[in-house]
Structure 1
Amino acid sequence: MTRKFRVAVIGAGIAARHLTGFKWNADLFEVPVLCSLDEERGRRLCDEYGIPEYVQDVETLFARDDIDIIDICTPPHSHFDLSRRALEAGKHVICEKPLFGSVADVDAMAEIVRATGKTIMPIFQYRYGMGLQKLKRLTELGITGRAFLTTIETHWWRSPDYFAVDWRGKWKTELGGGLLGHAIHAHDMLNYIHGPCDAVFAYGATLNNPIETEDTMALAVRMKNGSLAALSMTLNSHEEISRLRFCFENVTVESILEPYTMGRDPWRFIAKDEAQQKVVDAALAEMEKTEDGYTRQFELFHHALLEGGAPPVTLQDARNSLELVTAAYHSDRTGMPTPMPIAADHPLYRSWLPELG
């Protein structure tokens, strides 16, 4: 019989999507308890997903010996402390994006993981859309050839009502603007396909919303693999789209435009000629269809815990993502290109918050 891991969920917002992922993996996970400061929302989720226990005191979760995993679905500024306490209490951790508020926090968490022997998995569920997985497979097989250019558009709409939630739009609680909290998934997909970034030049602005953080940003990126990327993010697009376009030596690949599931099929794979198209089509035809999103990421996490391997999304993946954010904020403020990786001597290594950086 497959082992079921018992999960305590903290939060009652994005937690609903996590609970759907656990529900679709009911043979792998069970959720006996949910913790939320918002009792109305928390109890509603317990009723909807059949969770037997609701608590408000997070301390009770760390002390329990019947919990294997703590799933953190809280505002960003609380992620590091909750993750640390959960790991030190002997639990594995799942944590929503953005993982932490600095590259230094990621490096500190890596030390905590080594000391406790437990596993932390950041959330980047967009990776598991079948369209992106097809591209990943082509790169693994060497079919794409050299990478040339990637363009990524994260053009969404966020009204003042969205920012009426007290922790949003503020540096100290949301930790960043649209670059960090919204475009982070698409930018992780860039790293997922091409590996880490090498340097970035960025312009950011707050053009429409009465917030502290940026609502629009444009980045020019050089990748370690030699290719280039142009990334744009705005929360001021009345027509919401997400679009990823990858230009390789042998094939050009383009995502769908659906803003929140752009990793899913049907993606377009246009080879350079008829013979190469047959190679591409044959490789894609051999792929097994899997679940996507949280469902797939949680399934792979279960496998990693059983086998003792690395989780499907690692701290290094989160570091790559937060290095891009750090470099972009630094470039915007200095007017200069910023190289990566971000090391301990970088002025924004410990924080990119304007008042602390």
Structure 2
Amino acid sequence: MPVAEPPAQPPTTRTTPISPSTPASPVRAAVVGTGGIVTGSHLPALRELHGRVRLVAAVDTDPARLTAFRDLAGDDVHGYGDLDEMLAAERPDLVLLGTPPALHAVQATAALRAGAWVLCEKPLCLSLAEYDAIAAAEGTEEGGTGGPYASVVFQHRYGSGAVHARELLRSGELGRPLVAHCQTTWYRDRAYYSVPWRGRWATEGGGPTMGHGIHQMDLLLHLLGDWTEVRAMAGRLVHDVESEDVSTALVQFADGTMATVVNSVLSPDEVSRIRIDCADATVELTHLYGHSNDDWAYTPAVHARDDERRTAHWRTPAADVPSSHAAQLDGFLDAMEKGVRPPGSGTEARRTLEFLAALYKSAFTGRPVGAGEIGPDDPYYHAMHGNHPDWAPKEQ
């Protein structure tokens, strides 16, 4: 299939929100990048929500990959080899970014300036400096008619189990949170790093801290709220790459909760886990790449075990909505209809990225890092390695 030629017209910045979506007027969406994450996650989500959103265009610099995607997505999806050409020709309402991380900031900014809302694969960008540049390209809320906005894909926040757990924690139903554990222990072999952009600071932004554990750490912050201090270590123990292959951290939250964090791509027994011990119960999530209600468990404290009336409410809800790209996209479309900032954007998304920058800074400097400490004059504001890409030699 040939790449479509765009008409000679510039992109137009949209200053008002799109009209509420109905089956007769779905959101017009475009995908950028047609590799595995778009084919395997975004395309099924778009199909699941076909009454609310319609895929009109796809962008990829690889003509063969683009052709294969269009064969899968349908001939009515126009193909382009260049993002700017697609934005000018299609003027989409929504752009879904599934390209390698180093491209996210430039592509998100271009889409926002063309008037499109953005839902981008993690990480949204490679530094706090890039994040703030993206935020500067967003629209502003004025009487609920704001936008466009950029949001990052953090699908683990979504699904009925996560929603229920957050409600219980924030309402105090489980008692005060005291101790937490966040674990992303996965395994990646040498072949995984044969992809040129992986394991490199300039193209991936970091190792398992940035590219793998980011999901569980974001969910931990989503459940517990603001963090205040990080003390961390990182190492390059096995893989011959620029970035780390393991990191650990001790974290204190604003309410006093203390947590441990482990991110690894060296672990044959793979698991993703969050555990939060509260005064009246322990809530635990154990899964790998996605969760449903059955992956959440609640264990009452001894003094609460006989209070069936209370503990019955802790059990996961009857409706089971798994965490997924579709679950997040559904909420994102709700925000578009209302012209309000979508979940997973703004200060919430920046908080997670700042947490990662603080983890790296603490690991590389050997001292604790506080929330709000990393500003424009700090090298860790501009790069996760803080201008020290050779921070740790590979262990022998």
Do Structure 1 and Structure 2 share a fold, with TM-score over 0.5? yes
CA distance in 2, matches of 1:238, 1:334: 30
**What secondary structure does 1:156 align onto?**
strand
**What secondary structure does 1:265 align onto?**
helix
Give the corresponding residue for 1:104: 129
Give the corresponding residue for 1:32: 56
Q: In structure 1, list runs of 5 or more residues that go unmatched.
A: none
Deviates more, 1:32-41 or 1:148-157: 32-41
Change (3 A) 1:328 1:280: same
Q: Match for 1:216 among 233, 246, 262?
A: 246
Change (3 A) 1:192 1:134: same
Structure 2 counterpart of 1:328, one-letter code: L
**What secondary structure does 2:139 align onto?**
helix
Change (3 A) 1:185 1:51: farther
Matched, 1:293 2:316: no
CA distance in 2, matches of 1:266, 1:243: 10
Change (3 A) 1:266 1:178: closer
Q: Match for 1:337 among 346, 368, 371?
A: 368
- Asked if structure 2 preserves the Cα contact closer than 8 Å seen for 1:167 and 1:174, the reply is yes
* Alignment coverage as a number of residue pairs: 356
Structure 1 counterpart of 2:241, one-letter code: I
Change (3 A) 1:333 1:282: closer
Deviates more, 1:264-273 or 1:318-327: 264-273
Structure 2 counterpart of 1:268, one-letter code: A
CA shift, 1:354, in A, is: 4.7
Matched, 1:268 2:292: no
Tell me the alpha carbon deviations over residues 205-257 of structure 1, each in whole angstroms, 9 at most, x when there is no partner. Answer: 0111111110011100111121011000110111111111110111101112x
Structure 1 counterpart of 2:33, one-letter code: G
CA distance in 2, matches of 1:246, 1:230: 11
CA distance in 1, matches of 2:318, 2:292: 16
Q: In structure 2, list runs of 5 or more residues that go unmatched.
A: 1-21, 141-145, 390-396
Tell me the alpha carbon deviations over residues 246-292 of structure 1, each in whole angstroms, 9 at most, x when there is no partner. Answer: 10111101112x32114653311112222445323235466644353
Give the corresponding residue for 2:257: 227
CA distance in 2, matches of 1:264, 1:185: 18
Matched, 1:128 2:158: yes
CA shift, 1:313, in A, is: 1.3
Matched, 1:10 2:32: yes
TM-score of the aligned structures, taking structure 2 as reference length: 0.85
Change (3 A) 1:65 1:46: closer
CA shift, 1:190, in A, is: 0.8
Tell me the alpha carbon deviations over residues 61-102 of structure 1, each in whole angstroms, 9 at most, x when there is no partner. Answer: 121344111111111111111111111111111111111111
Q: Match for 1:43 among 67, 80, 94?
A: 67
Deviates more, 1:235-244 or 1:121-130: 121-130
Give the corresponding residue for 2:47: 23
Q: Match for 1:58 among 83, 86, 97?
A: 83
CA distance in 2, matches of 1:317, 1:246: 20
Change (3 A) 1:51 1:350: farther
Change (3 A) 1:154 1:41: same
Give the corresponding residue for 2:381: 349
TM-score of the aligned structures, taking structure 1 as reference length: 0.94
Give the corresponding residue for 1:191: 221
Runs of 4+ in 1 over 4 A off after TM superposition: 283-288
Structure 2 counterpart of 1:92, one-letter code: W
CA distance in 2, matches of 1:203, 1:25: 42
**What secondary structure does 1:348 align onto?**
helix
Structure 1 counterpart of 2:70, one-letter code: C
**What secondary structure does 1:32 align onto?**
strand
- Asked if structure 2 preserves the Cα contact closer than 8 Å seen for 1:253 and 1:270, the reply is yes
- Asked if structure 2 preserves the Cα contact closer than 8 Å seen for 1:129 and 1:261, the reply is no
- Asked if structure 2 preserves the Cα contact closer than 8 Å seen for 1:99 and 1:122, the reply is yes
**What secondary structure does 1:208 align onto?**
coil
Deviates more, 1:238-247 or 1:137-146: 137-146
CA distance in 1, matches of 2:292, 2:133: 31
CA shift, 1:122, in A, is: 1.2
- Asked if structure 2 preserves the Cα contact closer than 8 Å seen for 1:146 and 1:249, the reply is yes
What is the percent sequence identity of the aligned residues?
29
Structure 1 counterpart of 2:32, one-letter code: I
CA shift, 1:156, in A, is: 0.4
CA shift, 1:128, in A, is: 1.2
CA distance in 2, matches of 1:237, 1:222: 26
